[in-house]
A and B are shown apart, each in its own frame.
Chain A
Amino acid sequence: MANQPEQATKRSLFSSLPRIQMEKRTSVPKTFQALVPFASVLVAFILGAIPLFFYGVNPIEAYSKLIQGAFGSYDGLIRVAIKMTPLLFTSLAVAIPLRAGLWNIGAEGQLHIGAVGATWVALMVLNSGSEMSSWVVVPLMILAGAFFAGLFAFIPAILRAKLNTNEIITTLMLNYVAFDIMRFLVAGPWRTSTGNFQTENFPPSAFFPEFFGTQIDKVHLGLPIALIIVAVIYFIYVKTRIGYEAKVVGANPQAAAVGGISQVKVIVWTLTLGGAIGGLAGVGEVAAIQHKLIDGISPTLNPFGYTGIAVALLAKGHPLGLIPATITFSALFVGGSSIQALPFHSIYTGDTIQVPVAIVLVLEVLVIVSIIAGDYLSRYRMSWRRHG
């Protein structure tokens, strides 16, 4: 047989280390589960201190300014609320199918298709020259955006349901299709007369109502809609029959089949509904922020659609958890961009330096890593073991 004894000398290196004992848990206590995301964010900030420190910025100073930038002023809070809106929609787009065990990586594409749908309505109103009330136009834009984005997500849904194609790949690939559709429209049929890669400005009747805020940034209709949808989805998942069905499919598709639950139905409705809600992110961006369709409604460095995946992960797919999770991420972006404008004194030379954009990206990634690591580690019971 094959074993040969290892040399004892090789082991002496490790002999004095304490021993960590890991044992798999069958269930993670609820309170513990709720604490893990907070701990993850904290760990990410501690790790993020390392590049800051090398860079010459005092991490504590940077973080306190970051938090101040997001929560320290009315302006900051409004900006957080505005950034939160599309993130809530895209993270819902991820979290809804996730309950049935499906990964929607296509929120970014669905956002673009939603924006295209809303723009289509707005441009029709503009071209017809009619004086329709925004009570008609805005709901129509929302419906069109949700409808087209839902239709767009229906493609991977039906492929998954009928042919069992991997939805991760199809939703991801369709993102590129969506970008190209949007680019084609703004570069071709819908291009403004001024020649830029964008459409004409929407008529005022196609603007989302705005509620409160500062001169430049105002909280718009998107936020209450997103919050209502979060509540509705929570209700569906916790209380209703279709929510139960989705949960069973997510837990064990074979058992769902034995229980007579139609997998096709669950896959199609969760992915399509997720897609439609993802589309609303795009509707909000064109109807409230840009007031036109341009190439680049979603930031290139932290695209709303992809960030939505991280948000849904941080919330562990729980609809109510999406609210603190989106606040965390949008605060990170708002605070991160605010500290870029601020001067810092290098701890090495005392020179005035600035914090680069990339630091926020690094933090974002570190948050994701520690969520994943935290999620993994929380499934184990760990202890130091002494022995005689």
Chain B
Amino acid sequence: MGQFLSFPIVEVGLLTFTRHIVYSVIIAVRITFYLKTNASFKMHFARKFSKSTGCFYNDCLLGSPMNKSIPLLELKNISKQFPGVLANDKVNLKVSPGEVHGLLGENGAGKTTLMKMLYGLYQPTGGEIFYKGQRVFLNTPKVALKLGIGMVHQHFKLVPTLTVAENIILGMKDSPNPFISLKKAKQAIAALGEKYGLKVEPSARVWTLSTGEKQRVEILKALYRNAELLILDEPTAVLTPLAAKALFETLDQLVKAGLTIIFITHKLKEIISVTDNVTVLRRGKVIDSRQTKNTTPQELAQLMVGREVVFQVGKEAKEPGEPILQMTDVEATNDKDLLALRGASLTIRSGEIVGLAGVSGNGQRELAEVLTGLRHANKGEILLQGEKVTNASVKELLKRKVAHIPEDRMSQALALPLTIAENIVLHSYRLPEFNQGPILDYPAINEHTAQLVKDFDVRTPGIDVPARQLSGGNLQKVILARELYPEPQLIVANQPTRGVDVGSCEYIRTKLIEARDRGAAVLLISEDLDEVLDVSDRIMVIYEGRLTQAPKNADHQTLGLMMAGEEVKHGQSA
């Protein structure tokens, strides 16, 4: 070999060749890792021959019939330890075939973590999982799916530029044939949709779909993979009331067809109306598991939080003061360049909470963004305490103490890789108390953060952990803490209690009312009519980019009609 290599051309050639191979390996490795995070090679490692039963472990279960007498799923002493956080502590849970099992618990109680272990995304640090009476090892989602466990995450995992059918078959390898038949898939998807009331057009591109439709795609994805146990993590948090109703009808049909469902929600009403059994988690432990018909929302809330919860936050009547915000005839476009606000007008006074009801997608997001400087208003005028601030910059508006709780906390409100402290000063880092010349005063920032974390009862292992590690509801508290400092004049709160547990909901609403009592003007944008009715001093309805004043003692029905764009008597334009 040495002889052969002594020709210089060959040497250089060979080594350059090696170099190119290495480059190709980099590229191949990156592509594999990025596109297929759960690469199929892990699958191979994941299987092991089980001598005792004479078949591949896990695989004996494939397609085996459900036995009604044994639980479909049983968790025994399942624990999950994250660095510094015990997210699940010896959890025991039984789910019988054909039931809808509710899972309830405060933010950070460990619901999502538990479900991710069932779906093979996390590995338990202790305990055993039994599926159809057999011990199973759920190493990857593929293994879970093979067994018939499907999950719909709260944050959808779809590729927006692909069609519904393409998304559904993505990553499936069920025949040796390398060519996929989209046509067959589309037929199968349409048939599934028909059967369970999950109507979506299989050839529509996912980015054109509404949130409700996207969720249907996620459910179809699980059904297409023959899921028998379907896990839904806060499915209704992102749905309009109407879409939620449609989802419940689908769940009904799924159960009739023999599926078993685990359903996570923060809305106690939904637990009562949808589930057969309910398990309550608190700080990673199972507090209780009971039949839904033998319990009440009050009792559940108390189990969950460990104290009495008031559903109606008390507030005193207050005479509103001077107008803080005066917005007239504002027009603005949305991200697709279509007109989203069409002459919207709104006045909010000091010490007043205006609730804005409406079906999402009628211009709420655009309104919040125009008011906070994130979106350009093409027409109209915005006055803040009588001074013109139309199209002022975010920085300018922050200086004038306009607070903004954005709708989408994961992508808009927080920088998840940064620490709690770095996130908490995102709006206030320019203030003199956190600066010494051009230098940020980190000790002061840390002290401030520690104080707020304590005041707002944020459950976190520390102030210098990445925000990514906190549960959804705790992230919302971080945002709230940030926005209420320094005391704002105008608060634009877009869906502030979405995905937040009852205890924290109460807390957030109380905080908003406190701010109003101090004289702030609050715009509360919410799809939750109970919240709007409970918290607001005055209610407006948004429909197709226009705002209408709701009658003084409007109820659910009146508001529902107005949200659907119907004229209601006594409704006067504001």
Q: Which residue numbers of A lie inside 8 Å of B, CB to CB?
A: 1-5, 8, 11-23, 26-27, 29, 51, 54-56, 239-242, 244, 247-248, 251-252, 254-260, 262, 346-349, 351, 353, 356-359, 361-362, 365-366, 368-369, 372-373, 376, 385, 387-388
B5 interfacial contact with A, CB 8 Å? yes
Segment of B205-213, B231-239, B406-414 in the binding face: B406-414
The minimal Cβ–Cβ distance linking A126 to chain B, given in whole angstroms, is 40
B451 interfacial contact with A, CB 8 Å? no
**Contact partner of A365 among B19, B373, B394, B466, CB < 8 A?**
B19
A247 and B469 contact, CB distance less than 8 A: no
**Contact partner of B139 among A254, A368, A385, CB < 8 A?**
A385
Complex CA distance for A11 and B418, rounded to whole angstroms = 44
The minimal Cβ–Cβ distance linking B87 to chain A, given in whole angstroms, is 11
CB 8 Å contact bits of B376-399 with A (1 = contact, 0 = none): 000000000000000001110110
B11 interfacial contact with A, CB 8 Å? yes
A260 and B427 contact, CB distance less than 8 A: yes
A358 and B15 contact, CB distance less than 8 A: yes
B171 interfacial contact with A, CB 8 Å? no
Complex CA distance for A23 and B184, rounded to whole angstroms = 35
Residues in B neighbouring A26, C-beta threshold 8 A:
82, 466, 468-469
Complex CA distance for A131 and B341, rounded to whole angstroms = 69
A255 and B415 contact, CB distance less than 8 A: yes
Complex CA distance for A120 and B429, rounded to whole angstroms = 43
Q: Which residue of A lies closest to B39 (CB)?
A: A22
B174 and A241 contact, CB distance less than 8 A: no
Given contacts A255-B426, A372-B26, 20 further A-B contacts (CB under 8 A): A1-B192, A5-B62, A14-B45, A18-B45, A20-B42, A21-B139, A23-B123, A26-B469, A55-B11, A252-B414, A252-B418, A258-B426, A259-B426, A347-B2, A348-B3, A351-B6, A362-B19, A365-B23, A369-B22, A372-B29
The minimal Cβ–Cβ distance linking B275 to chain A, given in whole angstroms, is 26
Complex CA distance for A56 and B14, rounded to whole angstroms = 14
B430 interfacial contact with A, CB 8 Å? yes
Also in contact, A258 and B15, with CB within 8 A (given A4-B175, A5-B63, A247-B418): no
Q: What would 28 A/B residue contacts be, using CB atoms closer than 8 Å?
A: A3-B174, A4-B175, A8-B59, A11-B56, A17-B45, A19-B45, A19-B46, A19-B48, A20-B45, A23-B123, A27-B83, A244-B429, A248-B426, A251-B417, A252-B416, A257-B394, A258-B426, A349-B3, A353-B2, A356-B15, A361-B15, A361-B16, A361-B19, A369-B25, A369-B29, A385-B123, A387-B48, A387-B57
Complex CA distance for A2 and B165, rounded to whole angstroms = 13
A19 and B411 contact, CB distance less than 8 A: no
B290 interfacial contact with A, CB 8 Å? no
CB 8 Å contact bits of B155-174 with A (1 = contact, 0 = none): 00000000000000100101
Residues in B neighbouring A357, C-beta threshold 8 A:
12
Complex CA distance for A29 and B23, rounded to whole angstroms = 29
The minimal Cβ–Cβ distance linking A337 to chain B, given in whole angstroms, is 15
The minimal Cβ–Cβ distance linking B124 to chain A, given in whole angstroms, is 11
B440 and A51 contact, CB distance less than 8 A: no
CB 8 Å contact bits of B44-81 with A (1 = contact, 0 = none): 11111100000111010011000000000000000000
Nearest first, the 4 A-B pairs at minimum CB distance are: A358-B15, A260-B394, A251-B415, A260-B395
B554 interfacial contact with A, CB 8 Å? no
Q: Which residue numbers of B lie inside 8 Å of A, CB to CB?
A: 1-3, 5-6, 8, 11-12, 15-16, 18-19, 22-23, 25-26, 29-30, 33, 42, 44-49, 55-57, 59, 62-63, 82-83, 122-123, 135, 137, 139, 169, 172, 174-175, 184-185, 188, 192, 223-226, 372-374, 393-395, 397-398, 404, 406, 411-418, 422-423, 426-427, 429-430, 435, 438-440, 442, 465-466, 468-469
Also in contact, A22 and B42, with CB within 8 A (given A2-B185, A362-B18): yes
B1 and A260 contact, CB distance less than 8 A: no
Q: Which residue of B lies closest to A254 (CB)?
A: B412
Complex CA distance for A11 and B60, rounded to whole angstroms = 14
Complex CA distance for A259 and B426, rounded to whole angstroms = 5
Complex CA distance for A5 and B185, rounded to whole angstroms = 17
Q: Which residue of B lies closest to A259 (CB)?
A: B426
Residues in A neighbouring B429, C-beta threshold 8 A:
241, 244, 259
Complex CA distance for A13 and B414, rounded to whole angstroms = 47
The minimal Cβ–Cβ distance linking B253 to chain A, given in whole angstroms, is 16
Residues in A neighbouring B422, C-beta threshold 8 A:
244, 247-248
The minimal Cβ–Cβ distance linking B430 to chain A, given in whole angstroms, is 7
Complex CA distance for A158 and B247, rounded to whole angstroms = 47
Residues in A neighbouring B8, C-beta threshold 8 A:
356
Residue of B8, B122, B413 contacting most chain A CB atoms (<10 Å):
B413
Also in contact, A27 and B174, with CB within 8 A (given A18-B45, A366-B22, A376-B33): no
Q: Which residue of A lies closest to B445 (CB)?
A: A244
Complex CA distance for A254 and B394, rounded to whole angstroms = 12
A358 and B406 contact, CB distance less than 8 A: no
Complex CA distance for A26 and B29, rounded to whole angstroms = 22
B412 and A373 contact, CB distance less than 8 A: no
B439 and A353 contact, CB distance less than 8 A: no
A1 and B226 contact, CB distance less than 8 A: yes
Q: Which residue of A lies closest to B436 (CB)?
A: A239
The minimal Cβ–Cβ distance linking B52 to chain A, given in whole angstroms, is 9
Complex CA distance for A252 and B225, rounded to whole angstroms = 34
The minimal Cβ–Cβ distance linking A180 to chain B, given in whole angstroms, is 26
Residues in B neighbouring A258, C-beta threshold 8 A:
372, 374, 394, 404, 406, 412-413, 426
The minimal Cβ–Cβ distance linking B37 to chain A, given in whole angstroms, is 8
Complex CA distance for A244 and B415, rounded to whole angstroms = 12
Residues in B neighbouring A12, C-beta threshold 8 A:
49
Q: Which residue of B lies closest to A243 (CB)?
A: B440
Residues in A neighbouring B192, C-beta threshold 8 A:
1
Also in contact, A241 and B137, with CB within 8 A (given A349-B3, A356-B15): no
B16 and A358 contact, CB distance less than 8 A: yes
Residue of B82, B185, B427, B440 contacting most chain A CB atoms (<10 Å):
B440
Q: Which residue of B lies closest to A245 (CB)?
A: B429
A15 and B1 contact, CB distance less than 8 A: no
Residues in A neighbouring B63, C-beta threshold 8 A:
5
Complex CA distance for A29 and B466, rounded to whole angstroms = 12
B2 and A348 contact, CB distance less than 8 A: yes
Q: Which residue of B lies closest to A23 (CB)?
A: B123
Residues in A neighbouring B56, C-beta threshold 8 A:
8, 11, 15
Q: Which residue of A lies closest to B52 (CB)?
A: A388
Residues in B neighbouring A385, C-beta threshold 8 A:
123, 137, 139
